[in-house]
Structure 1
Amino acid sequence: MKSFPARFLIGFLLLFTGPLADAGTRPSVVFLSPDDSRFWQLVAGFMEAVAEDLEVDLEVQYDRESHRFSYLRMAKDVLSREEKPDYLLFMCKEHVTESMLRLADGAGVKTFTFNTDVPDAARASIGMPRSVLSGWLGHLSPDNIAAGRSLVTLLGKQAEQLGLASGPSIPMVALSGTLDSSATKDRNGGLLAAAVQQRSELMQLVYANWSGALAREKTEVLLKRYPETVSIWSASDGMALGAIEAARNAGRVPGQDLLVGSVDWQPEALDKIRSGELLVSLGRHFMGGGLALLLLHDYHHGRDFDDMSPDYVFRYKLEPATRDNIDQVQRIADPENWSSVDFRQFSRVGETETAKAVPDPDAVLDAITGALARQETGSVASRE
């Protein structure tokens, strides 16, 4: 048995190791939003709701130029401050992710990346979290490859049910995002793999840079070029809304003789699902930033997440919003509803019963979405 002095010394030393050193302070986090689109406003708004409950000091900055170099410049500005944040939270972008991570590590600011996969070049150079840069704490992203594949499947099945797939194949066109986005790359990968394996025939894939206006213009051209088109695969809701407008202008009837599917769970897209013009939107990843904050909060207060993911990399599934579940999804995505749930219950600091039952990202998000779906819009739950 260890003597009392030895046990006291060990306990004393543990106070200066790991995240326990910050356990008594409020964590400060700067989130760099890659643009100010409706989706990223939802991401930031949800993060703010989570931060309020967890007592996290959160600052949100939007990159209104929406370019990788302006994104890098934002990171440099934050990291050059005299009073730096404890944590920097940002999305991985091609060609600048490694620079941002190295700059933060050199400045003594811990980082957490989320929403898109780590670019291949960065992974080849610095590996994954905590392998080369100890301050890079973790990475969280939806399974965008599976999302791209699921959209093809859902569009194809509905085309068959509506009798739109009369020939051996289902003609499809696709709208994708920007070339510097790994979400674009991964969703495209799922699309291309599924199009080879299933009946859907990809006539053409075009890049619309996440822009609804550009997607409308390009869809008008695509429908003239391929009038036999049955389905439109879109990597985002914003582009899908532009495609729906173009289809109507071309005399098509979205939801009847033309099917559109997309990603993001944006409020305007959910309205289109209710009206029947949009078949499906895959989503819930607007909650990714909130989940990242939850992990950082627990880390800051001495509860690391290494037991949830040995390599500190987390991945979760996107879920479909359809006319069958649109009421629940709209409650989940309604900002007025977020204050109705106390997000402290999902923290593992203090070991609440809810937190004990959520060992992985999908389970955590399932618990959060379940709690939100049960709330009535605008209601506020009592807080202890």
Structure 2
Amino acid sequence: MALRAVLLISLIVCSFMRVADAGTRPSVAFLSPDDSRFWQMVAGFMEQVAIDLDVDLEVQFDTDRHRFSYLRMAQQIITAEEKPDYLIIMCKELVTTQILEQAHGQGVKVFSFNTDVPEATRVAVGMPRETLDSWIGHVVPDNVEAGRTLAKLLERRAVERGLVEAGEPVPMVALTGTQDSSAARDRNQGLLNATSIGNGQLLQLVLAEWSEQQASEKMSVLFRRYPQTTAIWNASDGMALGAIEAARNAGRTPGEDVIVGGVDWEPRALEAIRRGDLTVSLGRHFMGGGLALLLIHDYHHGYDFAEGRRSAALRYQFEAATVDNVHLVERILAPENWKALDFRQYSRVFNTQLRKQDFSADQLMDQFSSGLIQQGNSNQLVSQ
């Protein structure tokens, strides 16, 4: 999908209301699954949103990067003497149900984001508010569609570069994350869907554990195994950068005789797009934590995002960063623009005109993007 040209000027000039119960400042703990560059971006963005909305935010990083260490950290938070009002988590296989049930027992409300709810959790407790009213919401990017979109963009670019004839198979290898990651699993599924019906010829899908180093090492082996490789699909930008390194070591020229794409909008990936090494990065989901905070804030002050909806789970689409719009994406990623933008303008607490308007997660993410680009003095988002 293209980055949307949705500069909603009416949202820039807002009349803010005083909150009747402004003294009830919500406390929120965010449990990050690791301390990688991507999750540092997620946390940094959330911190700026929290400042504007007067939310007391605590961030903890799981440096062990394992589902059971994540569970232990969650348990420490929800059993502490001074508990937060809300806990923001990423759903992880095998431990999500335990976190939700234990938080419910301790009176801590939970908002999940970034990855789909594991099937085992859906079977055990359903979706937000179906059996656990303390699980107030869920917001997630469409990872399946991201995997499919990335594969199709790589196929198209390979044809445009003349590496294969139109309609001919595009030899492709793929590097993905960990086995316990639903984001990796869903992106893989999108890849498999695309290559099963399109022109992509998937040679092999390999676990690289979200690691740039592992991606480089494993891609070096894959180049020897599949010298015909024309496109490299990566479930993250970190792995894409590792694949680019391996391509150069193999005597290939990324962007010329092998097409590489990734996911995350990492700053180094955008630099690689500018150089021509990386063809595309799908992203904007780093703002998902900030969106969760906005929804929690309004819920806390009496404006429930799920009111009038069939579900308290929201979904949005990724956007593609390419050489055509990378300069605008860089403005969305600029911390100085996060600081300059007043996120109160998107809150129904502060803006009476928003309270009767329907909204979607996509619309709110579009508005975040547009507001951040305006801080960079841009007129519009350039479509992919």
| TM > 0.5 | yes
Alignment match, 1:42: 41
User: 1:346·1:355 contact (CA, 8 Å) conserved in 2?
Assistant: no
In 2, the alpha carbon distance for the partners of 1:256 and 1:375 equals 35
Equivalence for 1:343: 343
Q: Give the percent of matched residue pairs that are identical in Structure 1 and Structure 2.
A: 60
1:374 aligns with 2:374: yes
Q: Does 1:151 align with 2:136?
A: no
CA distance in 1: counterparts of 2:135 and 2:29, whole angstroms? 14
Match of 1:164 in 2: 163
Higher relative contact order (CA 8 A, sep 6+): 2
**Corresponding letter in the other structure for 2:139:** L
**1:175 aligned counterpart, secondary structure:** strand
Structure 2 gaps, min length 5: 1-18, 378-384
Q: In the TM superposition, what whole-angstrom CA distance separates every residue of 1:264-286 from its partner, at most 9, and x where no partner exists?
A: 00000011011110000000000
Unaligned runs of 5+ in 1: 1-19, 378-384
Tell me: CA distance 1:345–1:255, structure 2 relative to 1, closer, same or farther (3 Å): same
Q: CA deviation at 1:168?
A: 2.7
Query: What corresponds to 1:4 in structure 2?
Result: none
> 1:57 matched to which residue of 2?
56
Deviations 1:99-136 (A, max 9, x none): 00001000000000000000000101100001111100
Determine the C-alpha separation between the residues in 2 that align with 1:309 and 1:95: 29
Change beyond 3 A, Cα 1:152–1:355: farther
Cα deviation digits, residues 191-237 of structure 1 (max 9, x gap): 00000111110000000000000000000001110000000000000
Q: Deviations over 1:111-166 (max 9, x none)?
A: 00000000000101100001111100011100000000000110011111111114
The reply to whether residue 256 of structure 1 matches residue 249 of structure 2 is no
Specify the alignment match of 2:326 in structure 1: 326
Determine the structure 1 residue equivalent to 2:197. Answer: 197
TM (norm. structure 1) is 0.91
Query: What secondary structure does 1:232 align onto?
Result: strand
Q: Is the 8 A contact 1:345 1:354 kept in 2?
A: no
Within-5 A mapping of 1:57-76: 57-76=56-75
Conservation of the 8 A alpha-carbon contact between 1:281 and 1:322: yes
TM superposition shift of 1:351: 2.4
After TM superposition, list the pairs within 5 Å mapping 1:225-264 onto structure 2.
225-264=225-264
Instruction: Kindly name which structure, 1 or 2, has the bigger radius of gyration based on alpha carbons.
Output: 1
Change (3 A) 1:327 1:79: same
Q: Deviations over 1:327-363 (max 9, x none)?
A: 1100001112211100000101132556766611100
1:362 paired residue number: 362
Q: Can you list the C-alpha shifts for 1:67-99, whole angstroms capped at 9, x where unaligned?
A: 000000001111121111000001000000000
3-state secondary structure, aligned to 1:359: coil
Match in the other structure for 2:135: 136
CA gap 1:133/1:354 in 2 versus in 1, 3 angstroms: closer
CA distance in 1, matches of 2:355, 2:70: 34
TM-score, normalising length: structure 2: 0.91
Residue 372 of structure 1: how far off its partner (Å): 0.6
Letter in 2 for 1:243: A
Q: CA RMSD in A?
A: 1.6
Secondary structure at 2:180's aligned position in 1? coil
> Is contact 2:344-2:350 (8 Å) kept?
no
Distance in 2 (alpha carbons) for counterparts of 1:266 and 1:308? 36
Q: Specify the code of the residue in structure 1 equivalent to 2:25.
A: R
Q: Closer, same or farther in 2 for the Cα pair 1:275/1:309, shift >3 Å?
A: farther
Q: Once the two structures are superposed, what CA deviation does each residue of 1:304-323 show, in whole Å capped at 9, x if it has no partner? A: 01137421000000000000
Higher mean C-alpha displacement, 58-67 vs 356-365: 356-365
State the shift of 1:21 in Å: 11
Q: Is the 8 A contact 2:29 2:87 kept in 1?
A: yes
Q: Paired residue for 1:266?
A: 266
Deviating 4+ runs (over 4 angstroms): 20-23, 352-358
How many residue pairs get aligned? The number is: 358
